[in-house]
Structure 1
């Protein structure tokens, strides 16, 4: 008989509820317990998982005996403390949302956790598992003949409203290039298979959130950026981010180029934001453009409508949970490690500092350099 996996959920905001919906699509799973301090978010979570017990703290969640793993989807600034609390009381397998941490001084805490934690930790980097991006990564070497240039372009909607407006400020989110973009720095390392040696960025707040105030404070979160990263193997990558471009047909456009040709993945944004008068939302595409014989070949990469309905990330949250469950049952290794999550944050922190200082930031993650200060 199949083993039922019992999940504990910490945090049931927008992303936490996406995790709930996708876990419930998997066979032999059960939401055993939820910790969500916000009353409105807690009610929304119980509509998805009425079977779950509700508790008032992480410690109370850990005291639930029938618990096999934990998903952390709390605000960014809470992740590391909750991981440490779990490690101290009951080190269960964990899937923790990105970013793993947000302040430079937290790095030693993560390194200690990485060396001491006795159970698997999976860092949630959903973009790896979007079907068009997963196919892009599979075809990358053959299509390019060896990647030399990688460009990631995200043109999307502004930051959504979150409880306590934690995502409106650098101090609680880590800054846009950590909070939003660690996904893309993770993709860069995964695709290029090398470590960054230099990060250069230009970024700022141009359009969004100027008319907002929280306890008398105006948001300081950036809404646009360019980031260029040089890698140790000679490849280079660029991120272009614009968060006031929700009118775009595709939200992410990723291209890789090498001596043999180019491959692109075009990924639409959340279907719930697509205007009804334009008809059905666009379908993701994969385009291969060889140098010889010249001529692009495009194919559509459709996603199961049930998965699109379950979240905003093109089905990736389901596929990530499918693999996480297989890992905690011992059927496969962890694919996104604490080290991966840490390095993605370090790249984001370097990009934040480069944009703030106007200087390129030299870094070599293999020799554990001092990481730059996060701009205020």
Structure 2
């Protein structure tokens, strides 16, 4: 009989809940414990999801002998210490994106995991969309010819309106970057998944919404992180492109995940997709043709979409553990994305092109 793998989940917010849901749909996986700082909330989450153990100290979860792998779905500033503690305990680790506050932390996590020989995963949700996997295969098989350019957009409305509510992801001490690392990391990862390594970047980062309201005290809190980001990138292949992300966009606000646009332009054909449900292929002299996604998600809300991709994501992480092999995206991919994020921040500060450090393994 195949052995079950015990998972511990750190975090009880939207992503933590999505990962719990994904794991509980899988054979050979069980959620053995959950951890979070608020005792009432963590106990409530454990009760709701039938999780046997609840901890307010993540180190107790990591030390739990029934936990063999840890899912880190906490705020960004906790990712590095929690991942390093998990790796030090020789346990497999899955980290939400962005994996760290900066590339230095990401490099430490990557090196430690490689040295310890543990399996890793990263929460690049759209990578687990069968539609994006199909487009990747089409590009790899040469259907588009040589890639000329990639153009990616990921926008939402979270900081629009008369008085946005403060969240941890807008706090500079808890998030190394703003929308660039939050939404932009998805697009950076997809761009490198499709077109290969980004080697240099130019960027402009803007903060257009200056304050958010503390929900408890009603105090106006200054916002210092970027809420609109625009990157120009160059790839090792010779292709180039643009990557934009925003929390202050009204386009497609009726959609569960806001606006996503991803265009792959090749010498033979081009692909255009929303990254979630729909894609079309465009060939010179022919009308656009739909690419069949085969996805049962037409009426899904944000939680439903996350649950579907999340189950596939957790299935991949479980497979990496059971088969003792890398299943991408791993911390290697998370580090590659973080290097681009850091380079973009430096480019915006210095107003010049910045080279992106390349991994040698």
TM-score range, shorter chain: 0.7 to 0.9
Match of 1:22 in 2: 22
> Within the alignment, does 1:136 sit opposite 2:144 as a pair?
no
Match of 1:183 in 2: 186
Match of 1:363 in 2: 356
Match of 2:145 in 1: 145
Match of 1:220 in 2: 224
Match of 1:285 in 2: 278
SS of residue in 1 equivalent to 2:147: coil
SS of residue in 1 equivalent to 2:314: helix
Matched ranges for 1:141-290 at <5 A:
141=140, 142-158=142-158, 165-176=167-178, 177-193=180-196, 195-206=197-208, 208=209, 210-212=211-213, 217-248=221-252, 251-267=259-275, 284-290=277-283
SS of residue in 2 equivalent to 1:287: strand
Alpha-carbon offset, residue 321 of structure 1: 0.9
CA distance in 2, matches of 1:267, 1:83: 29
Match of 1:110 in 2: 109
Assess, with a 3 A threshold, how the Cα gap between structure 1 residues 312 and 221 changes in structure 2: closer, same or farther. farther
Match of 1:61 in 2: 61
SS of residue in 2 equivalent to 1:172: coil
Q: 1:16-75: CA deviations, max 9, x gaps?
A: 111111111222322111111124542552254223311221221133222231111111
Structure 1 length-normalised TM = 0.83
Matched ranges for 1:86-125 at <5 A:
86-88=86-88, 90-107=89-106, 109-125=108-124
> Within the alignment, does 1:315 sit opposite 2:305 as a pair?
no
Assess, with a 3 A threshold, how the Cα gap between structure 1 residues 4 and 111 changes in structure 2: closer, same or farther. closer
Alpha-carbon offset, residue 121 of structure 1: 1.5
Match of 1:339 among 332, 347, 351: 332
CA distance in 2, matches of 1:40, 1:302: 41
Alpha-carbon offset, residue 183 of structure 1: 2.0
CA distance in 1, matches of 2:139, 2:159: 31
Q: Answer yes or no: is the 8 Å Cα contact 1:147–1:256 preserved in 2.
A: yes
Assess, with a 3 A threshold, how the Cα gap between structure 1 residues 246 and 320 changes in structure 2: closer, same or farther. farther
Q: Answer yes or no: is the 8 Å Cα contact 1:131–1:314 preserved in 2.
A: no
Match of 1:78 in 2: 78
CA distance in 1, matches of 2:204, 2:248: 17
| Range with bigger deviation, 310-319 or 350-359 | 310-319
Alpha-carbon offset, residue 261 of structure 1: 0.8
CA distance in 1, matches of 2:83, 2:269: 43
Q: 1:120-157: CA deviations, max 9, x gaps?
A: 11222212112332222222244311222111111223
List runs of 5+ in structure 1 lacking aligned partners. Answer: 269-283, 369-376
Match of 2:293 among 297, 301, 304: 301
Q: Answer yes or no: is the 8 Å Cα contact 2:113–2:119 preserved in 1.
A: no
Q: 1:285-308: CA deviations, max 9, x gaps?
A: 1100012x4221024535335986
Q: Answer yes or no: is the 8 Å Cα contact 1:34–1:54 preserved in 2.
A: yes
List runs of 5+ in structure 2 lacking aligned partners. Answer: none
Alpha-carbon offset, residue 116 of structure 1: 2.0
Q: Answer yes or no: is the 8 Å Cα contact 2:107–2:335 preserved in 1.
A: no
CA distance in 2, matches of 1:309, 1:123: 19
| Range with bigger deviation, 10-19 or 130-139 | 130-139
Alpha-carbon offset, residue 108 of structure 1: 5.2
Q: Answer yes or no: is the 8 Å Cα contact 1:303–1:314 preserved in 2.
A: no
